Each structure stands twice: as C-alpha cells, then as structure tokens.
Amino acid sequence: MSKVRISQLLKMKQSGEKITAVTAYDASFSKLFHENGIEVILIGDSLGMVLHGEDTTLGVSVEDIAYHTRAVRKGAADAFVIADMPFMSYPDPDTAGFHAAELMRAGANMVKMEGGEWLVDTVKHLTQQGIPVCAHLGLLPQQVHLIGGYRVQGKTKEQADKLIEEALKLQAAGAQLLVVECIPAALGKRFSEALHIPVIGIGAGADTDGQILVMHDMLGMNADYLPKFTRNFLVGHDSLAKAVQSYVAAVKDASFPGPEHTFS
C-alpha cells in the first residue's frame, strides 16, 4: 500500500469508500495490518488494558504511547498513524502542545484527544502549531469513572444534538478526523452526514465513514470478553493476514458492523 495521508482519507469520505482502522502497538502487527490494506493505525491508550492488564486506560503515560508509536512507525512507514493523548496529558493548550509534540516526534501523523467543546481552544492551538488533531466523542474511556462505566452515549435526542453540536465546533476549530464510540447507529449516520471530515466509528453503526477496532478484539485475543460491537475475524481463517483481509473487505462492503454489532 502506498503512503496514506489525511487528504486521501478525506477523498475516501467524499467518494463513499469506507476507511479501515485498527489499533496496533508494535512493528510486527503494524506491518501486517498495513500490508493487508488497513489505512489507519491507532496507538491507543487501550494498551493499558490489552497489554498491561489494567481495568481502565487511566494508567497509560505519554512515554508509553511514544514508545509504542516508534515501534508502530518502524513496521509501517507509509501508514497513517494516530497516537492517543493519554489521561490528563492535555488539561490546557500549552500542556497538550508539549505532549503532542513528543508523540509527533515519535512518528505520529496525528494525535487523538477525548472530549467535546472544552477542547476547542486546545484543538485550535495544536493545529496552529502544525499538529493535526483527531477528536473523540461518544463514550470516552478516560472519563469512565465520571460516567459510571462503559455505557452507550447519545441515546436521547438532547444528548445526540449536543454531541453533533460539539463535533461541529471541534471541526471548525481544526479537527481533521473524528472517532465516535458506543453510540446509536442512527447517531453515527448523523455524524457522517453533518461533518465534512471523516468520521470513524467503533460501536457506532455501519453508516460512519469508516470503522476501527482494537486489534485484540478483531483477532479474538480477549477470550473472556468480546464487546458487542466487535467480531473475531480470525474465525474461519488459517492466517492472521487472511483475518485482516476479511476485516478490510467487510468494512469496505459495509457488511461489518451488522445489526448484531450496533446499538439502537
């Protein structure tokens, strides 16, 4: 696969081609994913749970993300790489800029932050400094203690309208990509229709501009728990490469996520 840039992702949205994304944390898996058609690789703070064995993402540091970003970039020089900004690494624009610069130097093309309207000034500050931003709305894992668990967000009209309003403000501030997590499928469709930037969903229905999964879920590596919104793509295949190709194909033809993977 040739080098992936944000301009290509925007063209994919405009043409109706689905964007494929997955988390990765090392060179071997990032190489596997990119060579088999994945456009976007996220070094997620999910590493706290799937690599470190923690119950939440809150213990992950900027140094953790930077370490794994370097490894991912080594394995996939041409992939579009997004690095998560971990818990409390962006309480204000200046602190966010300092930490985001570290992740960009580690090899990221973009950084991702969880939150709504309160991040508008931070998004403006980062983009003015040349740091591309991916926003993240819906379920915010870094706020798990505040919201009382991993729950579907945006279920009422008022909540949904507020999320759309926040997304538009983040887009106006300079965000070039949006991840939406654990929301009703109808709201996922609203996001993609309302925004001109690509919208990547996880548990957000099939009508977003693309899909992202945690690699351990996609490959059935969390044997004791599989979230409703994911699928084990290794089932029925005799290699990791074929499992990844199956995921890419299912996202591209919009057969994944199916009704059984979505929230209403």
Give a yes or no: residue 1 inside a domain. no
213 beta partners: 22
**CATH number of the domain that 15 lies in?**
3.20.20.60
pLDDT at 223: 58
Total domains in the fold of the chain:
1
pLDDT at 144: 81
Give a yes or no: residue 87 inside a domain. yes
Give a yes or no: residue 121 inside a domain. yes
Q: What is the tens place of the pLDDT at every residue in 178-200? A: 999 999 999 999 999 999 999 99
Question: Using the 8-state DSSP alphabet, how is residue 22 labeled?
Answer: E
Q: Which residues contact 146 (CB under 8 A, 6 or more apart)?
A: none
Q: What is the tens place of the pLDDT at every residue in 201-236? A: 999 999 999 999 999 999 998 756 778 899 999 999
pTM, two decimals, is 0.96
The response to whether 64 counts as a known ligand-binding position is no
Report the chain's mean pLDDT, rounded to a whole number: 96
pLDDT at 239: 97
pLDDT at 103: 98
* Tokens coding 92: 């204000």
Give a yes or no: residue 128 inside a domain. yes
Does residue 38 contact residue 213 with C-beta atoms inside 8 Å?
Answer: no
| 17, 181, 193, 260: the active-site residue | 181
Spans of the chain below 50 pLDDT: none
Residue 170: which domain range? 6-261
Asked if 181 is an active-site residue, the reply is yes
Give a yes or no: residue 182 inside a domain. yes
The response to whether 114 counts as a known ligand-binding position is yes
pLDDT at 150: 75
CA distances 13 to 8, 51, 149, 156, 251, Å, are: 9, 32, 32, 27, 13
Distance CA 197, CA 191 (A): 10
Residue 156 burial by Cβ neighbours in a 10 Å radius (0-12, 13-18, 19+): exposed
pLDDT at 122: 98
The response to whether 112 counts as a known ligand-binding position is yes
The response to whether 124 counts as a known ligand-binding position is no
pLDDT at 116: 97
